[in-house]
């Protein structure tokens, strides 16, 4: 078994690349670009742009190391039958889920804004998982895909740290996956939530998993 040793908090961690997947959460135009869901909720979307460059480097290293790469997208069917009313009505955004904005209908599958940003666009053969909720496991076949490939460890990154990244890590942790959250490849509209969100993962001896920098992960994958 090949092993990649990764410097992480709360302790170094050794992973078998053949049993490790990079899971990239919701790097969609609707969260990262003006006119999408993130901005409709009153957020400064530029806060999330800083993770694009390190995440591109991490994605390149994961592809070179032949890791399983899975991309997720949050969004709903065009008829919105999978969108709970309580979610659609929440908050007071200028545009709600399903409304028409500059990138098409907000958070609706098939629309421009729902798709992944060009810089991180999936390659053919990399699964893209559409999820109706915040967590990657809720009402999806993510667990099945991971188990069919013998995956034990997840490198998790994307947006936003305290919402969809955290929810997915918590779901994965309860299902027995080892999660390494790549801190500089996660982003939030709220820097303080990002910081505390990462600390919550690694606290108490790694209650939800590990936190590492992309440099440490890339270094570990290259051996």
> Segment contacting ligand C5J (CB under 6 A): 158-166, 174-182, 192-200, 208-216?
158-166
Q: Does 171 bind ligand C5J (CB under 6 A)?
A: no
Looking at the Cβ atoms of 10 and 127, the one nearer to ligand C5J is: 127
Q: Does 83 bind ligand C5J (CB under 6 A)?
A: no
Report, in Å, the least distance between residue 205 CB and ligand C5J: 26
Q: Does 160 bind ligand C5J (CB under 6 A)?
A: yes
> Is-catalytic flag, 179?
no
Q: Does 74 bind ligand C5J (CB under 6 A)?
A: yes
| Residue 221 three-state SS | helix
The CA distance from 4 to 16, in Å, is 6
* Main-chain phi, psi angles of 111, to 5 degrees: -85, 155
DSSP 8-state class, residue 120: G
> Segment contacting ligand C5J (CB under 6 A): 3-11, 146-154, 157-165, 194-202?
157-165
> Segment contacting ligand C5J (CB under 6 A): 1-9, 13-21, 94-102, 155-163?
155-163
Q: Does 26 bind ligand C5J (CB under 6 A)?
A: yes
> Is-catalytic flag, 134?
no
- Establish how many alpha carbons lie within 13 A of residue 17's alpha carbon, considering only the half-sphere containing its beta carbon: 19
CA distances from 191 to 47, 174, 198 (A): 8, 27, 11
> Is-catalytic flag, 99?
no
DSSP notation for 91-118: S--SS-TTSEETTEETTBTTSGGGSBPG
Closest residue by Cα to residue 13 from 137, 150, 118, 152: 152
Give me the 96-115 binding string for ligand C5J, x by CB under 6 A, dash otherwise: --------------------
The CA distance from 214 to 5, in Å, is 13
Catalytic residue positions?
26, 131, 164
Residues at the interface with ligand C5J (CB under 6 A): 26, 31, 74, 134, 159-160, 163-164
């Amino acid at each position: 078994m090949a092993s990649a040793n990764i410097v992480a908090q709360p302790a170094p961690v050794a992973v078998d690349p053949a049993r490790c997947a990079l899971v990239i959460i919701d790097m969609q135009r609707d969260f990262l670009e003006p006119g999408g869901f993130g901005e409709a909720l009153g957020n400064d979307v530029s806060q999330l742009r800083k993770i694009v460059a390190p995440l591109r480097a991490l994605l390149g290293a994961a592809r070179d190391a032949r890791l399983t790469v899975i991309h997720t997208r949050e969004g709903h069917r065009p008829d919105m039958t999978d969108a709970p009313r309580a979610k659609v009505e929440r908050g007071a955004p200028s545009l709600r889920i399903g409304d028409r904005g500059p990138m098409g209908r907000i958070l609706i599958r098939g629309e421009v804004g729902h798709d992944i940003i060009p810089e991180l666009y999936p390659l053919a053969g990399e699964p893209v998982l559409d999820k109706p909720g915040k967590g990657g496991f809720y009402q999806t076949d993510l667990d099945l895909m991971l188990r069919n490939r013998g995956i034990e460890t997840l490198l998790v990154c994307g947006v936003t740290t305290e919402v969809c990244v955290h929810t997915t890590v918590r779901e994965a942790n309860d299902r027995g996956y080892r999660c390494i959250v790549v801190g500089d490849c996660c982003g939030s509209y709220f820097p303080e939530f990002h910081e505390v969100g990462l600390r919550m993962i690694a606290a108490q001896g790694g209650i939800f998993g590990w936190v590492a920098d992309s440099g440490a992960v890339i270094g570990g994958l290259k051996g």
